Amino acid sequence: MKKLLSLVLVLTLAFSLAACGKTATETTAAKADATAKAGDKIVVGIVQTNANESDWRTANTKSFNEAFAAAGFETKMVFGEGDHAKQISEAQLLIQEEVDYLVVLGLQSAGWEDVAKAAKEAGIPFIMADRKLELSEDLYTAMVCSDFAAEGAKAVDWLKAQALASYNIVVLGGDTGSSAQLGRSKAIEDGAKANSWTIVFNQNMKGWDETLAKQAVADLIAAGTKFNVIYAENDNMARGACAALDAAGITYGKTGDVKIISFDANKWALQNVFDGKFNLDVECNPLHGPRIVELINKLAAGEAVEKNAYVKEEMFDTATITQAIVDARAY
């Protein structure tokens, strides 16, 4: 009954707004207003990448579920499971289900125009979280993302500061075409060019997979490939690489022959930095739940929001890490 009431309210408002030529934004506001008037729960559709592609993703999904439940939102979460086309069709379904807000974490950064246009037509605010998508500003309401180019630049600067006698780098990339992979990979590729470093291997691991990373490094060792740096685009792949080095009796980390660079900075990974197994871990913070709740509440209240927000992130290496930092880690 309530749904029907809010639908009638939306349609009446939409027709009256359309009759007087109101924009999508006003339609959005009308929709939010109707939802509030009808006292309905705010329904948020989340288009997530994969359920458990990494420890980072697990923490990210948990953050959304917990924060949205605490905010009294109704959450509709769908997963792409590694398939971009599936993510697109799931997103279209959420629009047809008339969610009040659409939050997208894209497997791929490209190919979201149609979904964004459909959301705009329906008056549904399109919000990007975690990964910035290739969309013009008129096609999304706001974003809360990580700056992957900046993350990569931190790692390259750190690597340069190590002043190694030689640089033979193995790049274990994330899912091809994701903005996280694109940003982090471009940084090391540009850094290698600028510093005349050698990238001896550069491949993306489907699903950011730890086992694939381990196998890739084991194959390199078996082939006799010389390398002294592992640039792993997330913690799980870095751990996979270390397992292959352990199996081959090759030393790594603070006192070892191979430098280990990672991204995400999960608690267990920072313990590895503290224990001298990982040399550097560049933070990528998954706790987007509260950030998106704050954003949606502002939009629902008709308040102005920051269009393009980047999460403030740090980096941790064997020289700066402390047990207290590890113990205080929230994910």
| Binding interface with ligand GYE (CB under 6 A) | 53-54, 56-57, 130-131, 146, 180, 208, 234, 263-264, 284
DSSP per-residue string spanning 205-264? PGGG-HHHHHHHHHHHHHTT---SEEEESSHHHHHHHHHHHHHHT--BSTTSSBEEEEEE
> Measured from the CB atom, is 238 or 299 closer to ligand GYE?
238
> Measured from the CB atom, is 90 or 264 closer to ligand GYE?
264
> Measured from the CB atom, is 28 or 146 closer to ligand GYE?
146
> Measured from the CB atom, is 106 or 253 closer to ligand GYE?
106
* 203: Cβ contacts below 8 Å, ≥ 6 apart: 171, 172, 173, 216
Closest approach of ligand GYE to the CB of residue 278, in Å: 14
CB 92 within 8 A of CB 118: yes
> Measured from the CB atom, is 65 or 168 closer to ligand GYE?
65
Closest approach of ligand GYE to the CB of residue 178, in Å: 6
Question: Which of these, 95, 84, 152, 147, lies nearest to 121 by C-alpha position?
Answer: 95
> Measured from the CB atom, is 168 or 202 closer to ligand GYE?
202
CB 302 within 8 A of CB 29: yes
> Measured from the CB atom, is 38 or 77 closer to ligand GYE?
77
* 120: Cβ contacts below 8 Å, ≥ 6 apart: 24, 126, 139
CA dist 196 and 152 (Å) reads: 17
Closest approach of ligand GYE to the CB of residue 208, in Å: 4
Three-class SS of residue 24? helix
Helices 267-274 and 235-248 pack at an angle, to 10 degrees, of 40
* 146: Cβ contacts below 8 Å, ≥ 6 apart: 130, 131, 180, 284, 285, 310, 311, 313
CB 63 within 8 A of CB 287: yes
Helices 113-121 and 84-96 pack at an angle, to 10 degrees, of 0
Closest approach of ligand GYE to the CB of residue 204, in Å: 12
21, burial (CB in 10 Å: exposed 0-12, middle 13-18, buried 19+):
exposed
Closest approach of ligand GYE to the CB of residue 129, in Å: 10
> Measured from the CB atom, is 79 or 167 closer to ligand GYE?
79
DSSP per-residue string spanning 164-181? -S--EEEEEE-STT-HHH
Closest approach of ligand GYE to the CB of residue 180, in Å: 4
Closest approach of ligand GYE to the CB of residue 282, in Å: 9
Closest approach of ligand GYE to the CB of residue 279, in Å: 18
